[in-house]
A and B are shown apart, each in its own frame.
Chain A
Amino acid sequence: MINIPLSIKVRAIAITISTCLCLLPFQGHTQTVDFSESWAAYQAMKAHASNKSMTWERLPDWSGVWTGSPDYLPYYRLSSDGKLNVRVSAKNTFESSKQAAPLTPAYQAKAIKVLQDRTKGIDWDYVSNCIPAGFPRWVVSHYLKEFALTPNLVWMLNEEQSEVRRIYMDGREHTPRDEAYPLYEGDSVGFWDGDTLVVHTVDNKEGTWDRSAAAYSDQVNTIERIRKVNKDVIEDQMTVYDKMALTKPWTVTFQFTRVTEPSDLRIRMFSCNENNNVVQDETGNSHHVLPGEVGYKDPNSLSENSQLNK
């Protein structure tokens, strides 16, 4: 056995400890979403997919203006004994979408608190602060949507806050973990399985599915299977993985429907701060600041009052 002098052992230990201490600050920069389960499922789908390599000639036609709807989201309300009760909109006819998010005890408690506040007339939504809805909430936003398909990149555009999802289809992996951080639309990669767009998304910010609906954590990651089922409907079957918020993966199906009236409707850039005078009052509730009141932001003089013009 090699006999190492004590001074060298001490030095080795000191170097090891100082190296670890130096690396500690960088640990906070590493995005630690555990998406191993959904990634394995996504890779299995990819292994069995047909016609994965898309060409310009074979791209499906998803052109047009579409709209999402919260109707396809099974949601919770409080029963008379204060427990969570699942509700399903009449428009939601998908057998696979009758279950609301299977929440962990901590996220059940969050949902109950939001609904209890609501019964007291206290209701607030972070979107009212002009924070983007973000993904996966993006899919239930009732504003207009557009889908721009190319063989190597797909853009999904939401009118609300001009939020854009980018789905990289060129075979690349997700952003390296030491470069990743929580994003409003997450980090998405995808492939085609025939005419079905399969998308894997990670690195999302925490949020809620809708105002007064269940919350999701920044651990949320999803697999979507998106396809045009007829000329007026694009269907998005999503399996949601979230080890903080969900007890098990949750599959739910959403629809985007074509907007036909007026036929020439265009999606415009959307600035939420253009005319937003909703604030959260001291009770936590939503409150309108009216013209003439302290804090009112007149949309006709926002640019005149800006610091740039002073």
Chain B
Amino acid sequence: MLKYVVITFTLLLPLLLGIPASAHHSHAMFDTTKRISISGTVVDFEYTNPHSWLKVTNEADGALWAFETNSPSQLLRKNIKRTALPTGMKVTVTAMPLKDGRAGGQIVSVKKEDGTILPIEPEAPTAGYTP
């Protein structure tokens, strides 16, 4: 059984109502009102444009999950370097899931084994998003 938690946020902040978003693509594929949490091992941290991707093997069932995040320069502005998430590191990724249920999402935060949380900010509005 896929071991992940789905939390539905019912209290939506009205502050972020549909502001224009300049990211490289739409966020319509993500369910911005939900969060999933996947614990596992880093396969690859692709520090690439237009988006970086973190690939993680889910410790519950061995499935490969792919999570999208900011571009390298946006990560650098948060002091998140290429070396922040080395292959083999144990992490817990909190993400907005893909609406169609496939093993992917957009990163909301990454917690490392030592408890440190990387200050990633999701590109999709976090709540109140009216597509």
**Interface residues in chain A, defined as those with a beta carbon under 8 Å from any beta carbon in chain B:** 69-71, 73, 75, 77, 87, 89, 118-119, 121-125, 127-128, 130, 140-144, 159-160, 209-213, 259, 261-262, 265, 267-268, 270-272, 274-276, 278, 285-288, 290-292, 299-300
Contact = CB atoms under 8 A, between A and B. Distances in A.
Interface in B49-82: 49-53, 55, 64, 66, 68, 71-73, 76-77, 79
A261 B51 contact: no
B121 interface: no
B98 A288 contact: yes
Nearest to B27: A123
Contacts of A119: 130-131
Contacts of B72: 268
10 A-B pairs with least C-beta separation: A123-B26, A275-B48, A123-B28, A286-B26, A128-B25, A70-B20, A210-B20, A142-B22, A278-B25, A70-B22
B98 A275 contact: no
Classify the secondary structure of B's interface with A.
loop
Contacts of B17: 77
B73 A159 contact: yes
B76 A89 contact: no
Contact of A262 (B25, B79, B104): B79
Interface in B99-131: 99, 102-104, 130-131
A124 B23 CA distance: 11
A213 B22 CA distance: 10
A278 B66 CA distance: 13
A4 to B, nearest CB: 67
A303 B104 CA distance: 25
Contacts of B6: none
B98 A125 contact: no
19 contacts: A77-B17, A118-B131, A119-B130, A127-B25, A128-B25, A259-B77, A271-B49, A272-B49, A274-B49, A275-B49, A275-B51, A285-B26, A287-B29, A288-B68, A290-B104, A291-B66, A292-B64, A299-B48, A300-B44
Contact of B20 (A73, A261, A299): A73
B46 A290 contact: no
Contacts of B7: none
Interface string B81-108: 0000000000000000011001110000
B5 interface: no
B21 interface: yes
B1 interface: no
A261 B23 CA distance: 20
Contact of B102 (A261, A285, A290): A290
B20 A213 contact: yes
Nearest to B55: A291
Nearest to B30: A288
Contact of B26 (A209, A211, A262): A211
Contacts of B79: 262
A272 B22 contact: no
A127 B24 contact: yes
A89 B19 contact: yes
Contact of A140 (B22, B50, B68, B131): B22
A261 B52 CA distance: 20
A127 B71 CA distance: 15
B18 A77 contact: yes
Contacts of A142: 22-23
